[in-house]
Amino acid sequence: MKKLLPFLLLLAACSKHPVADQIVHGKIWTSNPKQPWAEAMAIRGDSIVAIGSKSEVDAWKGDKTAEASVPDGQLIVPGLIDTHTHFLEAGFGLSSVQLRDAMSKEEFIKRIKEFAAGMKPGTWMMGGNWDHQNWGGELPDRKWVDEFTKEIPIALMRTDGHMIFVNSAALKAAGIADNVKDVQGGEMVRDKNKRLTGVFKDNANDLIFQKIPPASAESEDKALEAAMDYAAAHGVTSIHSMYGGNAAFDRAHDAGKLRTRVYMGWMINDWRMVKRRVDSLGHGDKWLRWGALKMFMDGALGSHTAAFFKPFVDTPKDSGFFLNPEAWMYRQIKSADSAGLHLMIHAIGDKAIFTLLNMFEKAEKENGPRDRRFRIEHLQHIAPSDIPRLALLNVIASMQPYHAIDDGRWAEKFLGPERIKTTYAFKSLLDANAKVAFGSDWPVAPADPMMGIYAAVTRRTLDDKFPDGWVPEQKITVEQALTAYTITGAYASFEEDIKGSLEPGKLADFVVLEKDITTIDAKEIGKVNVLKTVVGGKTVFQR
């Protein structure tokens, strides 16, 4: 026994795990189905080393371990992942004219006039996020604002991101006259005299955008800082950026200034460049990851540019359109997929969704099996027969629940009572075992997961005209919505092994909510504040 004693003492010393840097006590929802609830969590460095009961986790306590307790009634959840943003654009929009809640034509004009008064001549007015449905559906006309914006070109985006409003100064700066030819996959709205009203849709927007001077690196960096501040204040620890602003992400990453984890995307025609980057640098690290590509099948419902099999109810000769020829779109999908890249394709109308699923299925057969995780962005108005196909093809439904309570105010007058039954079909998709990931489409909608969860759980439209929910059979539970904002969001960027749930070995990204959203009245969820946001064990926001 005496000979064994030194060995046993050495074994005991070796088995003693290192102490935690910090321990957090409180009610924890983990997003780990094997251990959905916990009482405490131990963190060392930027990662979780233990989670479970208070006694289990306290075993990691040392003399220098910091301890924090979250009071009863509050809730700790994993860091929330927004799987669809236009992050840098949103950062710029935080300091632009705010039109989302302009509820009348007069208020719309007034806000543009007041904002223009403080601008330097020649500076472009961007952002906006207006919605003509707020004042009955009349599209704006440049004659509304030309008088006080003679030296201020404006290009203001509708909330859906598929329609812009420009003034005469912008048309002049872009060299566009009333006799300009129409653009395939887009539209320039004209009045009865064939005069351009200033409303451009989808591909036609490029005629304006290509003439807007690029932002400076300094202004991009400031916009990114503002966007990260906003994200942290709303409990968002990771975002997926569809495209744009990638140089700013690279600069922040190289300077160690990222506080929000980023999955970075490009447009699909850049696939060769992205392939070279992946071949040279891999897919990135825990702060900045890449390899994703975005493409548009169609436009949006509010702009009447989403592609449907049947016409819109209010415009019986119009059923929307594809933004590009089908053959071209498939060539891009097949080529990018053959390069091993990740495809996240925008499809809103039932025809666009059906056609895209066919393309995904065909590409998989022609390019061979692999872990693709094809994504359909928005997937708003799916035909019932296509719902089971997502699980069969392992296609992720990347959806934005806030759109349901926004569009639900007016969507039925465009689609009729039958098609809306599978509009934003969260429950039907989950029941069919499809993977559903949630995001915002910020700045099209606010990057506020509490409002997103509220929307998915209650489906009460913003005008509150559907107190029991718009298409209520598609409501889901709070835990299902949280799952879509956490572990499925991580899966949607191939990162479920490092984040998306609170368990040992994963990053210590978590959020403290002021109320337990799993137990309170669902109607109150949208009002719940984020008290604290932690990324990699470090607090990046505290109320």
Residues 323 and 356: their CA atoms lie apart, in Å, by 13
Kind plus residue range of the DSSP H or E element containing 68: strand 66-69
Phi (first) and psi of residue 442, to 5 degrees: -55, 130
Q: Contact 81/236 with Cβ under 8 angstroms? A: yes
The pair of three-digit structure tokens given for residue 253, joined into one six-digit string: 């990453």
In a domain, residue 53? The reply is no
Q: Contact 408/466 with Cβ under 8 angstroms? A: yes
In a domain, residue 177? The reply is yes
Tell me the whole-structure pTM to 2 decimals: 0.87
Residue with tokens 């509050």: 74
For residue range 267-316, what is the model confidence (pLDDT) as tens digits? 999 999 999 999 999 999 999 999 999 999 999 998 899 999 999 999 99
**Helical packing angle, 246-254 and 217-233, nearest 10°:** 80
Residues 459 and 98: their CA atoms lie apart, in Å, by 25
In a domain, residue 154? The reply is yes
In a domain, residue 168? The reply is yes
Q: How many domains does the chain have?
A: 1
Helix (H, G, I), strand (E, B) or coil at 55: helix
Q: Contact 132/300 with Cβ under 8 angstroms? A: no
Per-residue model confidence (pLDDT) at position 293:
98
Read off the amino acid at residue 422: T
| Residue 96, domain extent | 87-209
DSSP state of 472: G
Stretches in the chain below the pLDDT threshold 50 = 1-2, 4-15
Per-residue model confidence (pLDDT) at position 16:
62
Phi (first) and psi of residue 323, to 5 degrees: -80, -20
Pairing relationship of beta strands 342-347 and 375-378 according to DSSP bridges: parallel
Q: Which of 1, 303, 341 has the alpha carbon at shortest distance from 137?
A: 303
Residue 140 makes CB contacts below 8 A (sequence gap 6+) with 105, 108, 130, 132, 165, 197, 198, 199
The pair of three-digit structure tokens given for residue 328, joined into one six-digit string: 């071209």
User: What are the distances in angstroms from CA 314 to CA 278, 301, 306, 464?
Assistant: 47, 12, 14, 23
Q: Contact 293/341 with Cβ under 8 angstroms? A: yes
In a domain, residue 237? The reply is no
Q: Contact 235/79 with Cβ under 8 angstroms? A: yes
Residues 134 and 288: their CA atoms lie apart, in Å, by 38
Per-residue model confidence (pLDDT) at position 153:
93
Q: Long-range contacts: 281-287, Cβ < 8 Å, 24+? A: 283/494, 286/261, 286/498, 286/499, 286/507, 286/536, 287/253, 287/258, 287/261, 287/262
In a domain, residue 335? The reply is no
Residues 31 and 487: their CA atoms lie apart, in Å, by 7
Region of residue 26 (phi > 0: left; psi between -120 and 50: alpha; otherwise: beta): left
In a domain, residue 14? The reply is no
Per-residue model confidence (pLDDT) at position 3:
52
In a domain, residue 109? The reply is yes
Kindly report the CATH number assigned to the domain that includes residue 185. Answer: 3.10.310.70
Q: What secondary structure does DSSP assign to 387-413, as a single string?
A: HHHHHHTT-EEEE-THHHHHHTTTHHH
